[in-house]
């Protein structure tokens, strides 16, 4: 070992100019900042995971022992399971509708028309509207129209309203950057506009569509602020979680939080993996 480390020392001295102590300090400072940022981001989550396995009946520290009891209670709680089912179904429906609308919109935006840039920005405005304001606006609108509260009326509309701009934002670049030559080649070979869409455009942007579906699902699955304004008597998982927190601080809350988080993170990761794969594919298309 000794000769090896000596060799190493020798090499570094031979290969680099004399060491600058301030550079070393600076580098360690950077490491420390990164560590601090990660701690700031993940300490609460780590704490939540630890608490979810804590045997204590009072929700919080100190740690008493390891248990899976709280997970069993969450999975055995009928109200929570109903909310979860509602959220899953709602997420799928919102994702499907948002992506279909976003795709239509993105196809429309491939053409050139007056005020295109302005309209493009307009589509994205709902993203920056504060959630509370968005909720109030929806509540007023539904009241005005007289739409009864319900998961598949008011809540679904609210969720599509929330997901659509994001879905458009992720789909638009893929269609906008689509090589027009490929489309023209298909037309040149006798394809109608519908055939060009189904056999050329759709298969090529399919990974992007799937990624957008999953992304929209997580947006809907996590939505709380707008939902609480228009939910009525039913409940989604975030609404149920909120109710549990405010009504009776239950010891299984951390476990419920971990489970909810797990679903969202898992779907996001799958979506990102698909998006990354389709991005490299688009890259290779360009390099032709």
By CB under 8 A, tell whether 210 contacts other proteins. Answer: no
- For 37, 41, 137, the CA distances from 31, given in Å and listed in that order, are 10, 15, 46
By CB under 8 A, tell whether 190 contacts other proteins. Answer: yes
Binding residue (CB under 8 A) for other proteins from 147, 191, 261, 270? 191
Cα separation, 171 vs 124, whole angstroms: 13
Q: Are 208 and 278 in contact (CB under 8 A)?
A: yes
If the CB atoms of residues 143 and 181 are measured against other proteins, the closer one turns out to be 181
By CB under 8 A, tell whether 55 contacts other proteins. Answer: no
Length of the chain: 288
Q: Are 131 and 228 in contact (CB under 8 A)?
A: no
For 22-36, letters b (16+ CB in 10 Å) and e give eeeeeeeeeeeeeee
By CB under 8 A, tell whether 122 contacts other proteins. Answer: no
Binding residue (CB under 8 A) for other proteins from 177, 195, 269, 276? 195
Binding mask 218-247 toward other proteins (x if CB under 8 A, else -) reads ------------------------------
Minimum distance of other proteins from residue 114's CB (angstroms): 14
Cα separation, 16 vs 167, whole angstroms: 50
If the CB atoms of residues 18 and 189 are measured against other proteins, the closer one turns out to be 189
Minimum distance of other proteins from residue 196's CB (angstroms): 9
Quickly count: other Cβ atoms within 10 Å of residue 232's Cβ. Answer: 13
Residue range at the interface with other proteins (CB under 8 A); choices 17-25, 105-113, 185-193, 210-218: 185-193
CA atoms within 13 A on the CB side of 95: 22
By CB under 8 A, tell whether 49 contacts other proteins. Answer: no
Binding residue (CB under 8 A) for other proteins from 27, 85, 110, 281? 281
DSSP one-letter code for 58: S
Binding residue (CB under 8 A) for other proteins from 2, 5, 112, 284? 284
Cα separation, 56 vs 249, whole angstroms: 13
Binding residue (CB under 8 A) for other proteins from 96, 200, 210, 261? 200
Q: Are 268 and 219 in contact (CB under 8 A)?
A: no
By CB under 8 A, tell whether 187 contacts other proteins. Answer: yes
By CB under 8 A, tell whether 192 contacts other proteins. Answer: yes
Q: Are 75 and 260 in contact (CB under 8 A)?
A: no
DSSP one-letter code for 66: B
By CB under 8 A, tell whether 179 contacts other proteins. Answer: yes
Task: Tell me the site size for other proteins, rule CB under 8 A.
Answer: 20
Residue range at the interface with other proteins (CB under 8 A); choices 69-77, 98-106, 219-227, 277-285: 277-285
Q: Are 167 and 124 in contact (CB under 8 A)?
A: no
Catalog residues that contact other proteins under the rule CB under 8 A. Answer: 179, 181-182, 184-192, 195, 200, 203-204, 281, 284-285, 288
């Amino acid at each position: 070992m000794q000769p090896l480390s000596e060799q190493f020392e020798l090499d570094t001295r031979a290969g680099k100019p004399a060491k600058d102590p301030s550079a070393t300090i600076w580098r360690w400072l950077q490491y420390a900042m990164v560590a601090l940022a990660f701690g700031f981001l993940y300490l609460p989550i780590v704490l939540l995971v630890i608490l979810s396995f804590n045997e204590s009946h009072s929700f919080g520290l100190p740690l008493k022992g390891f248990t899976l009891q709280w997970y069993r209670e969450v999975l055995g709680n009928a109200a929570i399971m109903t909310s979860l089912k509602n959220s899953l179904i709602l997420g799928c429906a919102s994702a499907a509708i948002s992506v279909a609308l976003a795709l239509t919109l993105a196809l429309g935006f491939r053409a050139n028309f007056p005020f295109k840039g302005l309209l493009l920005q307009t589509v994205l405005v709902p993203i920056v509207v504060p959630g509370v304001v968005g909720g109030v606006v929806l509540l007023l609108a539904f009241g005005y129209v007289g739409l009864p509260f319900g998961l598949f009326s008011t809540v679904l509309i609210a969720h599509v309203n929330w997901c659509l701009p994001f879905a458009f934002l992720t789909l638009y670049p893929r269609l906008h950057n689509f090589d027009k030559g490929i489309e023209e080649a298909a037309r040149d070979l006798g394809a109608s506009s519908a055939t060009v869409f189904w056999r050329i455009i759709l298969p090529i942007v399919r990974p992007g569509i799937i990624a957008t579906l999953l992304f929209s699902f997580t947006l809907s699955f996590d939505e709380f602020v707008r939902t609480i304004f228009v939910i009525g008597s039913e409940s989604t998982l975030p609404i149920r979680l909120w109710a549990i927190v405010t009504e009776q601080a239950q010891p299984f809350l951390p476990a419920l939080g971990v489970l909810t988080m797990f679903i969202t993170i898992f779907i996001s990761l799958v979506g990102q993996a698909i998006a990354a794969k389709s991005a490299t594919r688009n890259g290779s298309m360009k390099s032709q």
